[in-house]
Structure 1
């Protein structure tokens, strides 16, 4: 796809300095700009590239510009970073959208498919499933019985969505993620472990994005819930009956055990482990590789395993690094005290 500078400026309400008919057919990082490409400059440290880049069009934060004549066409905006995000979202929506049902897919006669839906080859859609208008279901996806998928969703190849799961509007689920698999529920007995039936479902609210190779287990009874606007990275395990609130971000390889409740606007780092049946408040930050085994209050910053207040952890870690010397000093003090008492 090709765009002119004036078309791009129209998308982001920018002011053109230079050739409004300059064409772009791709994007480049500002450090490796190419002719015919678009890039952006949002910070002072990248301002020198305004004079050296080969890019044909640049989106630039207006305060970084001077009265010089620049070789590329400039689109001046208040915040180039945010404006470039708007452009990328528009491009993503325009690129690769399809509609229609490809050969090799299998759709049950009771399934309801909305307008302008795309269903790729070798996708299987079970009885009474519902797909909202404009959603993109890529090849080799499995959608179980009574699953409901909202409007304008993207379900990538290899995703498995088990029976009775609910996916809201504007959601993205990346390749090979499993939604609604059995929770890890077993009852010990004299003969081993007996499986506890997992009869609930998964509810994913609007505007959620889930990375690749994640597993989200359905509730034992009731629902596992992923709140509106939450963003989940790759390789994450969310167990049965977990309730995650709105606008959380969870980095790769985190694991959340069953029946834990997580509030809104939390940031959970990579490889964090959270035990079951606890409550995490709102705006909590859990730093990478922490192990959380107790409730967390609103606004806390946690670190370590078991996780404690991050400030306390750092102060204590300084002492831990000097622990051998501290023990020597204590032993010396004790020995000196004994010698003085024996005199």
Structure 2
């Protein structure tokens, strides 16, 4: 049975906080190491952007482009960069800090609304007899867990999720509602799978034969190392003859497809709708923009950047930024795009020139012109 739910309820009309005790502006300044200007006794109960923050909410300003919002903002306290500290605006209580965005991120955990969590196993869950559950594990309603599964301490499996037979989940793993972990998949500590994610399924591998198309058996594993996060409705295939491995700390957005035998390095970022074809190798620290398509059997060097929409059909050197289709060095792609833009301006005059009717007089004129040119270049009687 599920034990009592942890976490408290919250008034929906309250600010952006999670119901904890408010914090004063002076305490905020002390926590982020900033310089307080104004009333340090103002209570902060939530966080909001400048254009909708109220008198008991904290906001931030790090760039002049948002100066018009700052001018009329009702925010009670604003984190502000030193170069903008004297900017005219209605917020009178300001905390001057070198990096307002970083300071805001450090404070978000205090105001984050935590999802209520039960303790224990819900009676509607279907769990094989030999499953091993660690301490403090939560299994929500209608979860299905197959034979031989191991789930580490503190993990949380949400409603209607499925964990396939023989899978191993580390400590503090979070599997959200309707996510599916296929059989014999390995998830490291603190891995997060968001709703609808599918990891460890067989890849798109088929071989045409005389009697029809035959699916390739996938004997490889799907391994997600520590601190990997997989977005909603993203899919990661298991290996066919090799393992599919997602390196520690890599973050994958929603609607991403990673095919069989792919190796993704540590600390990579893959944005929404990116697709990685089979047996590709991606180095550490690579950043892949939205809707990037990567062909199979290519190598992306460490710390490379692929701009949104790039179509990668060849190897990308380490540390370079590539864009366009077919993808090339970003500067080369910009030059090519600029050349095409210039070409568009002269297409119509070129079409008019080549479509002009050709007459015999035009031919005689051109012939005479060539003859005159040859005569001008011939030597005279003196030989000069």
- TM-superposed CA distance for 1:116, in Å, is 2.8
The gaps in structure 1 that reach 5 residues or longer are none
Whether 1:107 aligns to 2:127 is yes
SS in 2 for 1:151: coil
Whether 1:340 aligns to 2:366 is yes
Aligned to 1:169: 189
Greater CA deviation, 18-27 or 241-250? Answer: 18-27
- The whole-number CA distance in structure 1 between the counterparts of 2:213 and 2:223 is 28
Corresponding residue to 2:246 among 222, 226, 231: 226
Residues 50 and 296 (structure 1), Cα distance of their counterparts in 2 relative to 1, 3 Å cut: closer
SS in 2 for 1:314: helix
Aligned to 1:192: 212
Residues 337 and 11 (structure 1), Cα distance of their counterparts in 2 relative to 1, 3 Å cut: farther
**Which whole-Å deviations, capped at 9, do the CAs of 1:249-303 have from their partners, x for residues lacking one?**
1121111110010112222222111111111112222222221111111122222
- The whole-number CA distance in structure 1 between the counterparts of 2:258 and 2:76 is 45
- TM-superposed CA distance for 1:7, in Å, is 5.3
Corresponding residue to 2:114 among 69, 73, 95: 95
- TM-superposed CA distance for 1:124, in Å, is 1.5
- The whole-number CA distance in structure 1 between the counterparts of 2:305 and 2:367 is 51
Corresponding residue to 1:245 among 247, 260, 265: 265
SS in 1 for 2:322: strand
Aligned to 1:4: 23
RMSD over aligned CA atoms reads 3.1
Contact 1:134 1:152 in 2 (8 A): yes
**Which whole-Å deviations, capped at 9, do the CAs of 1:191-211 have from their partners, x for residues lacking one?**
221011112221111222211
Greater CA deviation, 290-299 or 97-106? Answer: 97-106
The gaps in structure 2 that reach 5 residues or longer are 1-18, 372-384
- TM-superposed CA distance for 1:108, in Å, is 2.6
Residues 296 and 51 (structure 1), Cα distance of their counterparts in 2 relative to 1, 3 Å cut: closer
Whether 1:255 aligns to 2:281 is no
SS in 2 for 1:86: helix
Higher strand share: 1
Structure showing greater radius of gyration is 2
Aligned to 1:274: 294
- The whole-number CA distance in structure 2 between the counterparts of 1:195 and 1:179 is 19
Aligned to 1:155: 175
* Equivalent residue pairs, number: 341
- The whole-number CA distance in structure 2 between the counterparts of 1:68 and 1:320 is 45
